[in-house]
């Protein structure tokens, strides 16, 4: 029997069911809970308006508007349309370029490198160590510091010091393992080797004025404007370790890029102007071979009174450069000192004159040639105003008193010259004296003794001044520089330096053709030629020098030789000059042409190069013939006759 309370509940339930059937297509499911005496809704709802229901407030939704009720942050990547919120932090850690979630697993921070999208945070320090250029993690494993070189991306931190030792240009570790000092030379200049068509030093070569980098060959770019021909150009060889392995000192010459410390002396022997290393260990024979062929600056610094006294202009750097451009390897600078020497016993050389000689020497060295200076007309038999190196006294007799006076002045003068030039490079060579003689007849035997003694004094004085003079090459003559008299009476001086002495002789035979021009033709086949001094005589005389001296270790130069111009007979002069030059060169004798600036016709006109700007060739065919003889390999019998 139903009581009133039960009837009321049944009625209420019926009304509720009718109400639900009118507002929804899915009837509700209720279950009566007997313990609570209530009905429980068991339906699951699908929220079609993307809003959470009031039932739990924690529905999982599909976000069509890119917002979540959880964070209110739009985490959909703008490029991919994918929700990129990290599950732990709710932060968007997807790299905008790669679409990869780069959040570090421990910190939740985006550690991707901005360029590569790779996680470069060091696992120990939490610091992003990716190199800004490469994106590679370059942090040192011990310190957590990025040690990658900014140019190369290579870790260049020294394992002992923790200091980045990479050279700023190359990225190569150039720190000396013993000293901890970076020894890479930043400015090493490297010359282009025209002969071998390559750069004369190793490593990368950077153009002096541009950014192009080359190695081993020249590949110019428009950016720096270089010619496609690299001869005579230079570049920068950077990052080369230039510290000497024994001394720890950077010994690369700033001009040449060559390590110039002599292995025995530790002294830098590269000339700062020429870049030529004339090692003190270079023998006299090697120096003579290196000279090859030379040129005399005659009638300038050897003139009586002043440099211009004999009608030549002041010597200029441009003249010497023109001589070098012709291919000459040495310039003999005859110097007459007498007008510039003070009274005894000091015999002080005028400082202005010494400096002027030094200046002209500098022109020659700067041009990359050997320079030879001597006492020239100080011993000239024909110039009484300047002659003081005499064999006889005023009465014409050989006396002890005269010999002693000459020796004392000779010693004092050479001491001053040698001391002034003692630090000059080995491209400077001293010659004791010129053509010391008494007339042109056969000499007295005592004359040989006097010349030999002065040569010995000269060698001892120069060596005694030290520095580079202790090993400088020195030139000594025989009596009057005559070949026959030299062979008869010359004695090589004793020398504390081994293999540093050079013998000099002069050759103007026959004088009537070579010096006077009174005979206009030369060659045994030509009528009117002299009865001696022809081709066979040249060979005989030079063979004497070879067998007597060269073959026994004493090198020889022709300190002077040449032939004057005679108008209309230039081809005979060409033939003579080529023949004599070739005969000397074939025997290892370096010939040095006597050019006195004379440009006319006849006696004493030896000029080949104008002394006036633009310093042009006066006789190109003769210069060409001389250079051909000194540089080309052909038979002397193949020389073209007039």
Active-site residues, by number, are: 435, 560
Provide φ and ψ at 31, rounded to 5°.
-130, 130
Contact 365, 427 (CB under 8 A): yes
Q: For 465-602, where are the alpha helices, taking DSSP H only? A: 483-489, 511, 535-548, 570-586
Helix, strand, coil proportions of the chain in percent (round to 5)?
25, 15, 55
Place of tokens 């040495």: 330
CA atoms within 13 A on the CB side of 200: 21
Instruction: Give the number of other CB atoms < 10 A from CB of residue 165.
Output: 21
**Backbone phi and psi for residue 402, each to the nearest 5 degrees, phi listed first:** -65, -45
Residue 306 CB neighbours (<10 A): 13
What is the number of helices (H) and of strands (E) in the chain?
11, 17
**Considering only CA atoms, which of 364, 276, 370 is closest in space to residue 320?**
364
Residue 489's alpha-carbon distances to 103, 375, 396, in angstroms, are: 98, 21, 21
How far apart are the C-alpha atoms of 458 and 415, rounded to whole Å?
9
Q: How far apart (Å, rounded) are the C-alpha atoms in residues 190 and 237? A: 6
Q: What is the DSSP string of 60-126?
A: ----TTS--TTT----B-TTT--B-B-TTT--B-B-TTT--B-B-TTT--B-B-TTT--B-B-TTT-
Whether residue 459 contacts residue 501, with contact meaning beta carbons closer than 8 Å, is answered with yes
> Hey, is 28 helix, strand or coil?
coil
Residue 112 bridge partners (DSSP): 119
Q: How would you class 87 by CB atoms within 10 Å of its CB: exposed for 0-12, middle for 13-18, buried for 19 or more? A: exposed
Distance separating alpha carbons of residues 299 and 294, to the nearest angstrom: 16
Residues 6+ positions from 336 with CB-CB distance below 8 Å: 301, 302, 303, 304, 375, 376, 377, 378, 386
- CA 510/CA 74 separation, integer angstroms: 110
Residue 17 and residue 406: Cα distance in Å, rounded? Answer: 151
- 3-class state of residue 471 by DSSP: coil
* Pick from 481, 501, 502, 497: nearest CA to 433: 481
Give strand pairing partners of 41.
Answer: 30
Distance between CA atoms of residues 598 and 564, nearest Å: 9
* Residue carrying the six token digits 């790669």: 98
Nearest to 478 by CA among 503, 495, 454, 512: 503
Q: Are 400 and 455 in contact (CB under 8 A)?
A: no
């Amino acid at each position: 029997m139903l009581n009133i309370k039960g009837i009321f509940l049944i009625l209420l339930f019926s009304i509720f069911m009718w109400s639900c059937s009118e507002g929804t297509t899915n009837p509700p499911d209720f279950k009566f809970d007997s313990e609570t005496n209530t009905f429980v809704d068991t339906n699951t709802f699908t929220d079609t308006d993307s809003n959470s229901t009031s039932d739990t407030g924690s529905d999982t939704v599909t976000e069509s508007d890119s917002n979540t009720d959880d964070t209110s942050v739009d985490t959909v990547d703008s490029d991919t349309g994918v929700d990129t919120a990290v599950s732990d932090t709710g932060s968007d850690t997807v790299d905008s370029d790669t679409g990869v979630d780069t959040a570090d697993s421990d910190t939740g921070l985006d550690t991707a490198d901005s360029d590569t999208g790779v996680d470069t945070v060091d696992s120990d320090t939490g610091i992003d160590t990716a190199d800004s250029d490469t994106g590679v993690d370059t942090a040192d494993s011990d310190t957590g510091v990025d040690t990658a070189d900014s140019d190369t991306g290579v870790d260049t931190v020294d394992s002992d010091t923790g200091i980045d030792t990479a050279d700023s240009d190359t990225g190569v570790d150039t720190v000396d393992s013993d000293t901890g000092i970076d020894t890479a030379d930043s400015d090493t200049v490297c010359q282009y080797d025209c002969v071998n068509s390559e750069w004369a030093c190793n490593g990368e070569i950077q153009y002096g004025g541009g950014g192009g980098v080359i190695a081993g060959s020249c590949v110019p770019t428009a950016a720096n404007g270089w010619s496609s021909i690299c001869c005579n150009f230079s570049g920068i060889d950077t990052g080369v370790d230039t510290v000497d392995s024994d001394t720890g000192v950077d010994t690369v010459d700033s001009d040449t890029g060559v390590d110039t410390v002599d292995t025995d002396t530790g002294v830098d022997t590269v000339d700062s102007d020429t870049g030529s290393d004339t090692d003190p260990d270079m023998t006299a024979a090697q120096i003579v071979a290196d000279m090859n062929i030379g040129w005399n600056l005659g009638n300038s610094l050897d003139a009586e009174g002043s440099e211009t006294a004999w009608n030549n202009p002041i010597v200029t750097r441009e003249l010497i450069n023109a001589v070098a451009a012709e291919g000459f390897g040495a310039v003999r600078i005859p110097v007459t000192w007498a007008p510039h020497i003070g009274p005894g016993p000091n015999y002080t050389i005028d400082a202005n004159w010494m400096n002027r000689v030094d200046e002209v020497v500098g022109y020659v060295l700067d041009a990359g040639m050997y320079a030879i200076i001597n006492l020239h007309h100080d011993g000239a038999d024909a110039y009484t105003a300047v002659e003081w190196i005499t064999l006889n006294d005023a009465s014409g007799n050989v006396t002890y008193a005269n010999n002693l006076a000459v020796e004392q002045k000779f010693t004092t003068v050479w001491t001053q010259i040698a001391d002034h030039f003692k630090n000059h490079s080995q491209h400077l060579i001293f010659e004791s004296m010129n053509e010391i003689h008494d007339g042109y007849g056969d000499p007295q035997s005592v004359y040989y003794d006097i010349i030999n003694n002065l040569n010995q004094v000269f060698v001892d004085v120069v060596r005694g001044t030290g520095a580079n003079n202790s090993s400088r090459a020195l030139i000594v003559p025989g009596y009057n520089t005559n070949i026959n008299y030299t062979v008869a009476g010359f004695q090589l001086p004793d020398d504390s330096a081994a293999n540093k002495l050079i013998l000099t002789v002069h050759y103007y035979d026959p004088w009537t053709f070579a010096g006077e021009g009174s005979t206009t033709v030369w060659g045994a086949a030509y009528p009117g030629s002299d009865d001696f001094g022809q081709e066979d005589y040249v060979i005989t005389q030079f063979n004497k020098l070879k067998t007597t001296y060269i073959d026994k270790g004493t090198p020889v130069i022709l300190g002077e030789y040449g032939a004057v111009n005679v108008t209309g007979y230039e081809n005979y002069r060409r033939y003579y000059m080529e023949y004599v030059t070739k005969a000397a060169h074939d025997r290892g004798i370096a010939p040095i042409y006597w050019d006195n600036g004379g440009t006319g016709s006849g006696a004493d006109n030896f000029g080949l190069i104008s002394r006036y700007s633009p310093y042009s060739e006066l006789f190109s065919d003769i210069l060409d013939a001389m250079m051909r003889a000194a540089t080309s390999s052909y038979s002397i019998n193949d020389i073209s006759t007039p």
